[in-house]
Amino acid sequence: MTIRLDGRVALVTGAGRGIGKAVALALAQAGAKVAVLSRTEANAQETAHAIASTGGEALAFGGDVGDADFVERTINHIVTTWQRLDIVVNNAGITRDTLLVRMKDEDWDAVLHTNLKGAFLCSRAALKPMMRQRWGRIINISSVVGLTGNVGQANYAASKAALIAFTKTVALEMGSRNITCNAIAPGLIETDMTQGLPEQVRERALQRIPLGRFGTPEEIAYGVLFLCSEFASYITGQVLVIDGGLTAGL
């Protein structure tokens, strides 16, 4: 049994790099048409070209997930072009790490704007076509720190915990329409976001991961693929932790 998503239309936010790019490529590989959204248009286009070069179909959008007009226009464009929208992966996310006592208002607002408001805006706009179709999958990329908290990440951890409560609420409101909503909580994954961590922090983190390594973006994409598939048709309101065992002993 393999996962096929032929005929499905997906939107992946933050798909210009890292986890989002791996998710977009995996969905396209499974046969879905993929709308690639990223803040920097050139990054979105690069992912879309990668999909097209393997025979897939993709549209690229450059803009801010926290901008309601941009999100509405993007989703209207997708539905006009492909007549449906089945899957939304709310993946766009940023960090502005610092201890709470030093955290500026702008650090707080920027993180909540992208990580939480972005997911709210994209989900709200996508639910209209999904409700008409009576089929939909929303997957929110949270984080293990949304379950545990983390020093220096009050803004980020709060946004990721809020995404989990948001996920459960969408699941409750949309179950009767055959729309599922789940979250994935990655541990430490090799992307630009973790590339910048000081060597000492990386070493300490590695010692706490039972599998002894950071995860790959593809290992998160496989989780997304599963949650989008018919194999996950009875799963909603859940958090799938993909962390190499990092939180297993907590």
Which residues have a catalytic role annotated?
A: 156
User: For 38, which DSSP code?
Assistant: E
Q: Which is nearer to ligand NDP, 34 or 189 (CB)?
A: 189
Please identify which residue in the block is written with the tokens 């936010």.
Answer: 13
Closest of 194, 237, 236 to residue 215, by C-alpha: 194
Give one DSSP letter per residue of 71-100, joined into a string: HHHHHHHHHHHHS---EEEE---------G
Q: What's the DSSP call for residue 177?
A: G
Distance, C-alpha 194 to centroid of its chain? 16
Q: Which is nearer to ligand NDP, 40 or 233 (CB)?
A: 40
Residue 134 sits at φ, ψ, to 5 deg, of: 55, 40
In the complex, least distance from residue 110 CB atom to ligand NDP, rounded to whole angstroms: 9
In whole angstroms, the minimum distance from the beta carbon of 49 to ligand NDP comes to: 14
Q: Which two tokens stand for residue 207?
A: 């010692």
CB of 69 to ligand NDP, least distance (A): 13
Least distance CB 4 / ligand NDP (angstroms): 25
Q: Decide whether 93 or 129 has the Cβ nearer to ligand NDP.
A: 93
Footprint of ligand NDP (CB under 6 A): 13-14, 16-20, 38-40, 43, 64-66, 91-94, 114, 118, 141, 143, 186, 188-189, 191-194
Cβ closer to ligand NDP: 50 or 131?
Answer: 50
Alpha-carbon distance 3 to 69, whole Å? 34
Contact 179, 151 (CB under 8 A): no
